[in-house]
Chain A
Amino acid sequence: MSRLELKELYAGFRDAGVIKALSKQISKEAERLCEPLCIMEVCGGHTHTIMKYGLKQLLPQSIEFVHGPGCPVCIMPKERIDQAIALSGMKNLILVTLGDMLYVPGSLSTLAKERAQGCDVRALYSPMDALAIALQNPDKTVVYFAIGFETTTPMTAALLQQAQEKGIKNLLFHINHVLVPPAVDAIMQDGEARVNAFIAPSHVSVISGAKIYRGICENYATPVVVSGFEPVDVMQSIAMIVRQKNEQRCELEIEYSRCVTMEGNLKAQEMIEKYMKPRENFRWRGVGDIPFSALELKVEFEGYDAEKIFASQLPSQEIDDHKLCICAKILKGLANPEECSVFGTACTPNQPLGSCMVSSEGSCNAYYRYAQV
């Protein structure tokens, strides 16, 4: 058997000839559209693909993108960053999290600034690295500030399972895992949104299956296509949406058939269900309170729950965004980053005012980094 080269997993999906052919096909078929297409790409990863590969330039004017709430860093309200900062300042405590979280501004500081002042804050490449850190520091408490959508949740569950099996007592969890469908629901129910089709993230559906979007497809009568992240994937998904519209269909389709099924990864879903349950409420930055839109540890795992254990020491005051920041409108798809008065001036990746500029998946960051000519 020949070895699989990493390149084979992406090269064909960036092929210039295929992208051009899809561009031509979409332009031709889009001539028959009865109304302009306003596609929400829910996930920041797709926003990046669209900007990095300049896909908007290859599409007719009748197709527009709205950048959705699908960046786990962008939707994190400041009070939860403040909680991470409060944890990082505790004696004999190591706060570990994924890279981008370090630079998200809380109400007064960032984890990176706290680290510079001597707090033990560490960025992980893989959540599993938290195990080694806990083992190497038996006299300290390690708190994993867990973020992410359905994609990263199983890793947190697996980490907790490992900690249990190995009898590691000094690893705790601050859970900020959020769910895609309730957020999309919240935006659509808002009434202001102009969205009439969705590109849904494939990595979420690798875990949760495409089935999680059935409700959206049916309730709002919009096509939903679960798409991969390479430019050919996104172009192919747009072509599928245009075709649905022209044929007056509103269906849930899978473009990323390489890994996504309707049912998803049942083993991973079991893992999540074993350790976590939906929270009654979670406040999303920009969008506000959304019931049952996030997860927390089940009662029987309270002994691992840093939010419960340190409850009395963690700030809980809700903090709104800087008044010039329009992240809220951007997350709802009501504005583009370029419409923000501080975009690229007072708010840059080096000095972000709003969260959409911080994360490499944030739409402001994508507009800044891959400015279109």
Chain B
Amino acid sequence: MSQIQLSHGGGGEETNRLIREMFYAHFANDILLAAEDAAVLSVAKNIAFSTDCFTVSPIFFAGGNIGKLAIAGTVNDLSMMGAKPLYLSAGFIIEEGFETAKLEQIVVSMAQELKVSGAKIVCGDTKVVPRGSADQIFITTSGIGGILKPGISANRLNEGDVLILSGDIGRHGAAVLMQREGLGVRGNIQSDCASLWPAVEALLRYDISVSAMRDATRGGLSAVSNEWARQSAVCLELEESAICIDDAVQGICELFGFDALDFANEGTFLIAVKAKDAQRALECLRGVEVSKNAAVIGRITRKKEGRVILHSAHGSSRYLEPPKGELLPRIC
């Protein structure tokens, strides 16, 4: 079978073969292979539960693909709540005629990305839709994780908390944008797409007093910081010069008039910690590959509740607004 056909989603022999040869082969674990109608799980008392749909175009981009993104995305949502990612479901909507080799490449990267956090895919579903009814492949993942540290919440930020950013910003948005048809630019920008659990795990292991964490996905750092300011009715004061932006990402912004603060990230997160733990948190994060460039970028105050203030290196300040209008569609 070199292409996915409608019969692969029909529930018959072809479906079974696809499940066996593709999904079972790469995602193998006892719960999945039990092949029941639903996965039977035993979990801790407090769990986090999240779901995400992935429609990114192009499906293969520098630094990842839709499969890696689908795992990292849900793993990161769980991690941000202080939950160890445990079990994931995976739903595939595949357009008739999609190359089986591409599907396998996607599934293999999903399996590889699962290893980073140790999470397992324990159930799933596949639908094949007629040509033209979907664009190549869409994936939905849902997941649960066991909460290791309760109380981490974007609603409970405190005055005095220090804000740490786990790395440079804007690489996912820039990488996807660059590969879009018709833009005609080339450059060495890799998406930051990655599972953040190792970084979160380190923070929890060293018992850092984390108030909140959030990955800066769609809408980028502008969106996340504004969400926090509103949710906790506090002011986030950021130092512009402390926010690291790769030269090539900034270059894309210069050419097309974007702001890297608005660009999506898929492996970069914002952390609010108690001031006393800020230095230890930095050391923890810098010891982990995915957050080795972590830096303090600001603090939480009461200066203007519900707003984000950006301080420039040359001594002026302005409010940072959440991004508006039509951002890039199908970024994740």
* Cβ-based interface call for A264 (8 A): no
User: C-beta contact mask, A330-373 vs B, less than 8 Å → 1, else 0?
Assistant: 00000000000000000011100000000010000000111111
A58 close to B316 (CB less than 8 A):
yes
The A interface is mostly helix, strand or loop, or mixed, namely helix
Question: In which size bucket is the chain A interface?
Answer: 20 to 34
Cβ-based interface call for A72 (8 A): no
Interface presence of B325 (CB below 8 A)? yes
Which A residues between 1 and 51 are near B, CB-CB below 8 angstroms? 5-7, 9-10, 16-17, 19-20, 23, 51
B30 adjacent to chain A (CB < 8 Å): no
**Which of A7, A58, A129 meets B247, CB within 8 Å?**
A7
**Contact, CB under 8 Å: A373 / B315:** no
**B324: which of A51, A57, A350 is its contact (CB, 8 Å)?**
A350
In the bound complex, how far is the Cα of B326 from the Cα of A103, in angstroms?
Answer: 10
Known A6-B254, A7-B247: A53·B314 in contact at CB below 8 Å: yes
Across-interface contacts of A129 in B (CB, < 8 A): 182
Q: Given A6-B254, A16-B241, A129-B182, do A370 and B315 touch, yes or no (CB 8 Å)?
A: no
Interface size class on chain B is 20 to 34
The answer to whether B256 and A125 touch across the interface, beta carbons within 8 angstroms, is yes
Is there a chain A Cβ closer than 8 Å to B318's Cβ?
A: yes
State the main secondary structure of chain B at its contact with A. loop
Interface residues of A in 116-159 (CB under 8 A from B): 125-126, 129
Q: Is B321 an interface residue (CB 8 A)?
A: yes
Q: Are B313 and A16 in contact (CB under 8 A)?
A: yes
Instruction: Tell me which residues from 222 to 260 in chain B have a Cβ below 8 Å from any Cβ of chain A.
Output: 241, 247, 250-251, 254-257
Q: A231 an interface residue at 8 Å Cβ cutoff?
A: yes
Tell me whether A54 is interfacial, beta carbon within 8 Å: yes
Say how far B320's CB is from chain A's closest CB, in angstroms.
9
Q: Choose from B247, B318, B321, B326 the contact partner of A54 (Cβ within 8 Å).
A: B318
Q: Can you list 28 residue pairs at the A/B interface with Cβ under 8 Å?
A: A5-B247, A6-B251, A6-B255, A7-B247, A7-B251, A9-B254, A16-B312, A17-B314, A19-B314, A20-B315, A51-B318, A52-B318, A54-B317, A55-B316, A57-B315, A103-B325, A125-B183, A129-B182, A231-B314, A348-B324, A349-B324, A349-B325, A350-B324, A360-B257, A370-B319, A370-B321, A373-B318, A373-B319
